[in-house]
Amino acid sequence: MSKRWLSTTAPCAFLKRPQFDVKHVIRDRNQYEASIQARDIVGGSELLKQLQCIPQDYEDANRLDKLIAHLQKKRKSLEGALKADKSLANQLGSELKNCKLEFQRLNQELDQKRGKIQDTLQCLPNLIHPSVPEVHPEIVHWINPSPSYQQDRSRDHVDVMSRKQMVDFQTAANVTGNSWYYLLNAGAQLEHALTTFALLKAQEAGFNFCIPPSIARNEIIDACGFRPRDMNNEQQIYHLADTQLGLTATAEIALAGLGVNKVMDLSQGPRKLVGLSRSYRAEAGARGKDTKGLYRVHEFTKVELFCWTKPKDSCKMLEEIKDLQIEIVGSLGLPAKVLNMPANDLGAPAYKKYDIEAWMPGRGSFGEITSTSNCLDFQSRRMNTKFKNAATGKHEYVHTLNGTAMAVPRVILALIENFYNPTKNIIAIPECLRKFMGGREYIE
């Protein structure tokens, strides 16, 4: 089961303090409790206790607010009387001093209450869509179904690509370390072909092209939901020493940053971007699992989809992104399955998530190659990204969605293991990629 690490975010100069709807959380407290329990969050028991304290803390904060307002009124009255008649200094001076001391004490207590509430709200995961399974993924669609799913070690991508001089793991291990690699010759050409193909498909679907930075402020990374430790207690982010910066684990982070402290124009519909970037994961393998080959690596090229929508449009947009992913994977000819992911596999920002897993015969298992999530206003509240509601004239938080258009190393792995012919020692190139590889049909 997936584990999630939760933390609070220290105030910073760049991002404004998130504005949470406390009344909404109190009203739907049972749903938030269910979300914490279903996600199997690390530290979930403590978070549940903090959540249960919010109604009383909120009531106490309102009471303190009223006491402070009453005290302020009394202090102004005393100051007015003293100003009108200086002879009352001895009589009113002590009372005025006590008012000021009590004002400071109550303000300090109020700040502590509000800070406690803010910290709890900051740690809460998103709610969960009613259609999300509890424990096991639900298969919602098959792509290019295969008549047989049997392991075939002769198709292992590490062996095939190494023999054909498409990849060099050993030299990369000497130069950089384990879980790094050189893509060479046809291997490098495949990466170029896959990224070009995915970018074209995304732009045909109305996504505007963007090349974002691969470094972001830590508070932006955290606001996106990438905590210092995430699944399987892995450290996801490379943090740069003596800075408040980190390498991005996906273009989603920098793309989301385009909306920081902005009011977006969504009058013509959702705003859609496709970003091409290098991505970095500090821990490539979960406790030694999948550390061989291209499945889990520290650095890779990724084409990422990102959307800002009005709240009423986000569920529809999630389906559109999923359908685009199906079209891309289907065009590549890969046998795969589309999964409605269970609650215990959702990251804190995700309201609902679809994964596509491709069959990888050399590994003898299905492996994730795409993911798409609807995050509702989880990220936008932390990023202060809003739109103007034309009906009310008020600014409201947008909904954000993200999805993989192409995670290059895993797709290369899947292509090699599915389209390698051990008898002829050739790899068939999917028809949709051939024009980006000089018209070649095979890797000899």
Tell whether residue 296 is among the known ligand binding residues. Answer: no
Residue 77 Cα distances to 66, 72, 83, angstroms = 17, 9, 10
**Kind and range of the H or E run holding 81:** helix 44-84
136 annotated as belonging to a binding site for a ligand: no
Q: Is 368 annotated as a binding residue?
A: yes
CB 221 within 8 A of CB 237: yes
440 is in an annotated binding site: no
> Is residue 327 part of an annotated ligand binding site?
no
For residues 13 and 261, the answer to whether their CB atoms sit within 8 Å is no
139 is in an annotated binding site: no
Q: Annotated binding residue at 297?
A: yes
Q: Is 282 annotated as a binding residue?
A: yes
CB contact burial 200-213 (16+ within 10 A = b; e otherwise) = ebbeebebeebebe
Secondary-structure percent of the chain, ordered helix, strand, coil, rounded to 5: 45, 20, 35
Cα(367)–Cα(347) distance, rounded to whole angstroms? 18
Amino acid identity of 77? S
Contacts by 265-268 with C-beta closer than 8 Å and gap 24+?
Answer: 265/387, 265/388, 266/308, 266/309, 266/310, 266/387, 266/398, 267/390
Count the helices and strands in the chain (H runs, E runs): 13, 18
Asked if residue 373 belongs to a known ligand binding site, the reply is: no
Q: Which residue has the tokens 């992911």?
A: 341
Phi, psi of 16 (to 5 degrees): -70, 155
The answer to whether 202 is a known ligand-binding residue is no
Write down how long the chain is.
444
Q: Is 426 annotated as a binding residue?
A: no
300 is in an annotated binding site: yes
Max Cα distance, the chain (Å) = 108
Give the three-class secondary structure for 379. helix
Amino acid at 164: K
DSSP conformational letter for 392: T
Residue 46 marked as a ligand binder: no
428 among the known binding-site residues?
no
Known binding residues for L-serine are: 250, 281, 304, 402
Known binding residues for ATP are: 281-283, 297-300, 368-371
Known binding residues are: 250, 281-283, 297-300, 304, 368-371, 402
